[in-house]
Amino acid sequence: MFPLSDENPTVRTPIATYALIGTIVAVWVLVQGAGLDQNALAVSVCNLGMVPGELTGQSPLGTAVPLGPGMACVVDDWAINTWTPVTSMFLHGGWGHLVGNLLFFWVFGNNVEDSMGRLRFLAFYLICGLIAAGAHLAIDPASPVPTVGASGAISGILGAYLILYPRVRVRMLFWFLLFIRVIAVPAWVVLLWWFIWQVVAGLPQLMTLRPEVSGGVAVWAHIGGFVAGVVLVKLFTNEELHRRRLAMSEARDAFLGP
């Protein structure tokens, strides 16, 4: 199930959303070799990805985590580690990871920016990403496994969208075997379903001795980012911009009719 678009046109050009997407794509191509250079990809994930055990000092120096044939990420104490909760937000582990994150960001980010304004939106995005990183650290502070991806920050965008536009319909692509269909679903259904699945996936991590073993997905970063978005959205919303958005939506609905 993937979002394709929403029935929620923007009032202003979402420049901050475009800038963030452009930055993420540029990092993927210029720093990570677009996934075509496995060495560049591994080096970027290892050196610029967030390793919980490096930040907390709970993973022994020299601990090695395999990243591929003949490649491993070794726990170190480099100064750059302090910045990895930020740098990791702009890195990805593969094309599927990148495209999936940017698809959600493209559908939901522009409307949230429209109700916050550009600078507030940028700050909101970064803060949600940092809180998401903190949630992942809290769940497994000794993990030597590098974590990358914009999904924690984007999860905050999803949480904000749930509060701001719960009834807006989102066009979802449903794909099961030979059944393929695009169906418009209220945003609250889509986003709560997504959040529930994150919690279902994350609960087993609380019951194991090594919670980082979760299929390679930092679901508690998703959960932390989403909750941060729900809690913080009102602090970052520009009420004048949001009222303008709602007025435009009401006028559009009245024009289109039931």
pLDDT in tens, 46-60: 999 999 999 999 999
How far is 14 from 162, CA to CA, in rounded Å?
A: 19
Cα→Cα distances 168→9, 205, 246, Å: 10, 33, 11
Lowest-pLDDT range of 38-42, 66-70, 102-106, 134-138: 66-70
Q: What is the pLDDT of residue 85?
A: 96
The label of the residue with tokens 């395999």 reads 66
| pTM for the predicted model, two decimal places | 0.89
Own/partner pairs, 121-125, CB within 8 angstroms, 24+ separation: 121/16, 121/17, 121/236, 122/16, 122/20, 123/236, 124/156, 124/160, 124/229, 124/232, 124/233, 124/236, 125/16, 125/20, 125/153, 125/156, 125/157
Gap between the Cα atoms of 128 and 125, Å rounded? 5
Residue owning tokens 């963030």:
20
pLDDT at 255: 54
Q: Look at 114-123, 132-141, 215-224 and tell me which has the smallest mean pLDDT.
A: 215-224
Query: In whole angstroms, how large is the CA radius of gyration of the chain?
Result: 19
Q: Please tell me the CATH code under which domain 2-256 is placed.
A: 1.20.1540.10
Residue 208 phi/psi, 5-degree rounding, is -120, 160
Q: How far apart are CA 59 and CA 24, in angstroms?
A: 29
What is the rounded average pLDDT for all residues in the chain? 89
Confidence of residue 246 (pLDDT cuts 50, 70, 90): confident
212 pLDDT band, cuts 50/70/90, is very low
With contact defined as beta carbons under 8 Å apart, do 229 and 128 qualify? yes
Query: What is the pLDDT at residue 11?
Result: 87
Q: Percent of the chain, pLDDT > 70?
A: 92
